[in-house]
Amino acid sequence: MAQINPTPDPNRSVFINCPYDAEFAPLFDAIVFATVCCGFVPRSALDSGSVAEPRMARITRAMFSSKYSIHDLSRCKGEGSEQLARFNMPLELGIAIARRYTEIDEAQKHDWLLLVPQGHQYGKFISDLAGFDPKTHDGTVKVMVPRVMSWLRTRPDAVDTPDPPEVLAALPNFAQAKAALAQTWNDDIPWADILLAAKEHVPA
């Protein structure tokens, strides 16, 4: 089996910050696959699996090893009987924004994409984001893929990539391969195997 570089080029690395629940899983797979199809390497807190290290340490290491990041705020609203919102995603977005201002070299400044569902009221609880232009989506893979690809293809480190319809057509094959891996690994798939499966199904 082909191997994934254990230390990917930071200029081609994209940290993905999004919900990790079952409902969002198809969109997460779409973001990962679209990122790979654009010639970049997805990074996340899942990189190193469960190790004797705090989750925040893994998150910051992966993010600070990535020139780019993608942040989805889909879960920042009241849920459950207590109507509690999840703020892990805004917290990690804040880290990405701070990281941008720690880079002295303009060419290496961290660059990030903000994704929000249509009608999302993020501006009411994170007013400091006023002036930024997030990309909106309707919660479907059909819309998510072009949103991610249109941003990645305009980054300085972009390469020639398939078009969104080609990626959408190949996405079910990746999803099927990932489902097979989930059975093999009892739903604890090594991150490198997910990336290999994505690379194997990139449209020619």
Q: What is the pLDDT of residue 107?
A: 75
Alpha-carbon span 3 to 41, nearest angstrom: 13
Does 191 reside within a domain?
no
Does 169 reside within a domain?
no
Q: What is the pLDDT of residue 126?
A: 63
Q: What is the pLDDT of residue 121?
A: 60
Q: What is the pLDDT of residue 8?
A: 84
Q: What are phi and psi of 82, to 5 degrees?
A: -95, 0
Task: Give the global pTM.
Answer: 0.88
Q: Is beta strand 13-17 parallel, antiparallel or unpaired with respect to 41-43?
A: parallel
pLDDT digit string (tens) for the chain, length 204 residues? 445 556 789 999 999 999 888 999 999 999 999 999 999 999 988 886 666 778 888 889 899 999 999 999 887 665 656 656 667 888 899 899 888 888 778 778 899 999 988 866 655 556 666 667 788 899 999 999 999 999 999 998 988 889 999 999 999 999 999 999 999 999 999 999 999 999 999 998
Does 38 reside within a domain?
yes
Does 95 reside within a domain?
yes
First to last CA, the chain: 19
Does 83 reside within a domain?
yes
- Please list the residues that pair with 15 across neighbouring strands: 43, 69
**Domain coverage including residue 63:** 10-161
Does 182 reside within a domain?
no
Q: Which residue, among 185, 152, 183, 150, has the nearest Cα to 164 in the 3D structure?
A: 150
Does 154 reside within a domain?
yes
In one-letter notation, the amino acid at residue 35 is: T
Q: What is the pLDDT of residue 127?
A: 65
Report the CATH number at residue 57. 3.40.50.450
Alpha-carbon span 132 to 125, nearest angstrom: 14
Number of folded domains that form the chain: 1
Does 2 reside within a domain?
no
